[in-house]
């Protein structure tokens, strides 16, 4: 019996190669893809939501003033507090003098009144109220200054390396900046992590204190595929807009910064979105938390370890190039327990033709603790023979 067990595991391959999605490995032809459009803004970036692929950009990594697009990060921090149970949507929030006096766009809350978290979120998202944003910041963190620290910490966690915040609402400051790439990363995270809260960004108007204000994102009226996200404007930042649209199975995020005229931010965003939808498509390769390969694990309470990805794996290709997509999975040759959930043990390489387009960690989908001393001893013997033959 020991002999048959040895043979079984000695025959395990050293490297596991995943199924090739398509047999063709021909080079991708890019001569049918026109150059990205030229639009009258300081910077822009177009991203595929599903894969995170950047489809076009102009100064996408450059630091620029985001104005009220800052409120996306303020919202993200508030939504985390809601999700954790620290605050609740029906909590009454006292309006401080600082919040009431905040300059710029307003929800028109009254000094000394109490406004629900839900209403303040609508005032921040739809009306772009600076007063609402400061009131939420003070309620979540005790002060706007502490809240801004949370915003900067969250930016670091999301990999927003070209962003820094000095206030919650997006008021001008030389040390307050974001890049178009970082804004797209943030918008993508917000849509992914808080889909219920994201519905607020498609609301066209909101009335509070007998004052009804329209959502400043005019694309919500002109393009039925657009369901967000946020405008921004100051004299120094110009007119800015981050928009998201979904057509069929593809969602795109477009960021435009520094337009000189208000209409230019909408026309530029529309042009970028149409370019992306016309020439690109996203395809799902693997579902999240579903075994892609299974590997032998030694000295564990289980003999097999399922490996997969923590998020759905997508690839974005030029339309018509899907037949050239292939994947290869590579697994660490010897895995010894213990294994922690989400611990990487290999990767998945996605290619379009001969070009590598992404490399994603292949992680453990479950925890496998060490076995007892007898199991570890038996596996040590088996592993010795396995090593001889490999």
C-beta separation of 137 from 98 below 8 A: no
User: pLDDT tier at 22 (50, 70, 90 boundaries)?
Assistant: very low
Quick check: do 2-28+285-389 and 43-259 share a fold? no
pLDDT at 386: 76
pLDDT at 11: 37
- Does the pTM of the predicted model rise above 0.85? yes
* Distance in angstroms (rounded) separating the CA atoms of residues 161 and 149: 15
Select from 2.40.50.100, 1.20.120.10, 1.10.287.370, 2.60.410.10 the CATH code of 2-28+285-389.
2.60.410.10
| Residue extents of the structural domains in the chain | 2-28+285-389, 43-259
pLDDT at 381: 82
Is 326 a known active-site residue?
no
How much is the mean pLDDT over the chain? 91
- Within 8 A by CB and 6+ apart from 8, the residues are none
Average pLDDT over residues 151-166: 98
pLDDT at 382: 81
Give the closest residue to 201 by CA, choosing from 166, 165, 245, 250.
Answer: 245
Domain with residues 43-259, CATH architecture:
3-Layer(aba) Sandwich (3.40)
Give the closest residue to 370 by CA, choosing from 294, 295, 299, 296.
Answer: 299
Q: Find the catalytic residue in 51, 68, 244, 295.
A: 68
* Token representation of residue 261: 């005229």
Q: Find the catalytic residue in 128, 269, 295, 358.
A: 128
* Distance in angstroms (rounded) separating the CA atoms of residues 352 and 356: 6
C-beta separation of 144 from 167 below 8 A: yes
pLDDT at 354: 92
Is 71 a known active-site residue?
yes
Whose tokens are 């042009």? That residue is 271
Q: Find the catalytic residue in 51, 71, 230, 269.
A: 71
- Within 8 A by CB and 6+ apart from 12, the residues are 296, 386
User: pLDDT tier at 14 (50, 70, 90 boundaries)?
Assistant: very low
Give the closest residue to 294 by CA, choosing from 305, 302, 308.
Answer: 305
Is 230 a known active-site residue?
no
Burial group, residue 116, by CB count within 10 angstroms (0-12, 13-18, 19+)? middle
């Amino acid at each position: 019996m020991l002999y048959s067990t040895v043979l079984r595991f000695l025959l395990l391959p050293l490297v596991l190669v995943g199924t090739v999605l398509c047999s063709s490995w021909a080079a991708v032809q890019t001569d049918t893809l026109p150059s990205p459009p030229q639009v009258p803004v300081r910077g822009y970036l177009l991203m595929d939501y599903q894969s995170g692929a950047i489809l076009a950009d102009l100064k996408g990594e450059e630091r620029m003033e985001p104005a009220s697009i800052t409120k996306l990060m303020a919202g993200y921090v508030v939504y985390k507090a809601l999700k954790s149970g620290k605050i609740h949507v029906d909590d009454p929030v006292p309006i401080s003098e600082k919040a009431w006096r905040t300059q710029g766009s307003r929800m028109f809350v009254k000094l000394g009144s109490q406004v629900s978290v839900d209403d303040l979120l609508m005032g921040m998202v739809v009306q772009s109220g600076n007063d609402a944003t400061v009131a939420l910041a003070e309620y979540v963190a005790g002060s706007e200054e502490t809240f801004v620290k949370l915003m900067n910490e969250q930016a670091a966690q999301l990999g927003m390396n070209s962003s820094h915040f000095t206030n919650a609402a997006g008021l001008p400051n030389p040390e307050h900046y974001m890049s178009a790439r970082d804004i797209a990363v943030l918008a993508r995270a917000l849509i992914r992590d808080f889909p219920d809260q994201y519905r607020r960004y498609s609301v066209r108007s909101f009335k509070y204190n007998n004052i009804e204000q329209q959502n400043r994102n005019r694309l919500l009226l002109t393009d039925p595929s657009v369901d967000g996200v946020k405008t921004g404007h100051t004299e120094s930042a110009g007119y800015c807009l981050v928009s998201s649209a979904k057509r069929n199975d593809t969602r795109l995020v477009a960021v435009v910064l520094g337009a000189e005229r208000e209409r230019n931010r909408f026309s530029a965003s529309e042009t970028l979105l149409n370019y992306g939808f016309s020439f690109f498509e996203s395809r799902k390769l693997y579902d999240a938390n579903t075994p892609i390969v299974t590997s032998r694990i030694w000295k564990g309470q289980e003999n097999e370890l399922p490996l997969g990805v923590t998020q759905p794996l997508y690839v974005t290709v030029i339309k018509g190039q899907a037949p050239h997509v292939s994947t290869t999975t590579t697994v660490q040759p010897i895995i010894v327990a213990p294994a922690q959930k989400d611990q990487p043990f290999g990767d998945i390489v996605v290619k379009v033709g001969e070009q590598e387009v992404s490399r994603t960690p292949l992680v453990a989908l479950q925890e496998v603790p060490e076995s007892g001393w007898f199991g570890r001893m038996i596996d040590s013997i088996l592993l010795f023979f396995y090593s001889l033959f490999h």
